[in-house]
């Protein structure tokens, strides 16, 4: 494992982090309480030190599990949580989005409840969860600063949901000097991450990128293949057949990244992300301990050479040689892509 820091905060994160949305919910497979605890602790054993949860994951269950699992190593890990949804007063309807609530009072209330569940007096990183840019008012920014001064959080971030818009929100995070910006970013869905990296460089900002969905929902780690039958309730079931079919073809064009067995495709996908200096940590969706063993080892595999990186970008620019649609346009933005009109940019899946 290798480590990086968030912005200029000095807060250390493992280059491969644990996305704790996989525990506390059944969206990524069923597991018992004890199995979830063991899974988090196995990640610690593999030198993962960055754990990213959120209050809405399992309506608090993920935070409770993370807090319990990390209790004995609290001083050795970096913990992030997210607030911004009111699940306390609203029922969850399948995978539908809950009502957002991003006010100074709610942020304080939600954070206190999160800390109670985590059994911690502070978190290193607090992120606003899919907040819209118009919700992050000067009062909200002042509240975040106050929470840092009070010692309840050390850094602030903004977690984006590309399928519900992302451009203005992420640009505002960089402009307002948020320490971290979390977004979908992978070999097949490059637009959000690359845009923010360019913005960070142009503005000489200290914002770090946290890359989620690094394996494009199972394609780049080859956990979703032509023979895969998704279990009932699997959140990826909403994707059209065309997305899978074009994705499998794209994967075949990237076989050169495996480099004679020195790294798996799943590890190569992570190394591609880590080739960007602004990416501090990558949070894959671990489903098993075997996943943790493989992907936590990605930073120790050979980094992509300049030639390999350039070849990937050539393929991406040519849509990997595929001349048909992947069927995702209708799913990529709740605002119909209007936020991207005139920018020349593509949307991103989620």
In sequence order, the β-bridge partners of residue 208 are: 180
- The tens digit of pLDDT for each residue in 222-269 reads 887 666 666 665 555 566 778 788 989 999 999 999 988 899 999 999
With beta carbons less than 8 A apart as the criterion, state whether 125 and 296 touch: no
- The tens digit of pLDDT for each residue in 276-325 reads 999 999 999 999 999 999 999 999 999 999 999 999 999 999 999 998 87
The count of other CB atoms within 10 Å of the CB of residue 186 is 24
Cβ partners under 8 Å of residue 121, min gap 6: 115, 151, 152
Phi and psi torsions of 270, nearest 5°: -70, -40
CA 264/CA 297 separation, integer angstroms: 10
- The tens digit of pLDDT for each residue in 61-80 reads 999 999 999 999 999 999 99
| Tokens read off for 343 | 């920018």
């Amino acid at each position: 494992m290798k480590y990086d820091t968030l912005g200029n905060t000095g807060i250390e994160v493992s280059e491969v982090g644990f996305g704790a949305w996989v525990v506390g919910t059944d969206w990524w497979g069923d597991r018992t309480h004890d199995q979830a605890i063991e899974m988090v602790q196995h990640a610690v054993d593999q030198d993962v030190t960055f754990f990213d949860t959120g209050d809405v994951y399992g309506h608090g269950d993920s935070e409770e599990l993370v807090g319990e699992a990390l209790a004995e190593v609290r001083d050795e890990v970096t913990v992030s949580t997210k607030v911004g949804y009111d699940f306390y007063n609203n029922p969850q309807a399948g995978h539908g989005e809950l009502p957002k609530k991003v006010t100074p009072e709610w942020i304080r209330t939600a954070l206190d409840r999160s800390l109670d569940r985590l059994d911690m007096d502070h978190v290193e990183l607090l992120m606003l969860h899919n907040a819209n840019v118009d919700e992050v008012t000067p009062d909200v920014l002042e509240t975040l600063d106050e929470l840092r001064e009070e010692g309840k959080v050390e850094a602030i971030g903004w977690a984006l949901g590309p399928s519900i818009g992302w451009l203005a929100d992420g640009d505002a995070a960089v402009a307002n000097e948020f320490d971290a910006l979390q977004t979908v970013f992978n070999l097949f869905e490059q637009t959000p991450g690359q845009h923010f990296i360019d913005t960070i460089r142009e503005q000489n900002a200290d914002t770090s990128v946290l890359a989620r969905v690094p394996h494009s929902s199972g394609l780049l780690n080859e956990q979703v293949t032509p023979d895969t039958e998704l279990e009932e309730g699997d959140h990826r079931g909403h994707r059209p057949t065309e997305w899978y079919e074009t994705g499998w073809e794209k994967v075949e064009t990237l076989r050169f990244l495996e480099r004679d067995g020195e790294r798996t495709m799943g590890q190569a996908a992570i190394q591609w992300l880590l080739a960007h200096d602004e990416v501090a940590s990558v949070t894959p969706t671990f489903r098993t301990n075997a996943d943790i063993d493989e992907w936590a080892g990605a930073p120790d595999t050979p980094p992509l050479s300049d030639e390999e990186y350039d070849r990937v970008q050539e393929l991406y620019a040519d849509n990997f040689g595929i001349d048909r649609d992947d069927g995702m346009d209708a799913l990529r933005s709740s605002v119909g892509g209007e936020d991207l009109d005139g920018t020349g940019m593509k949307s991103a899946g989620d």
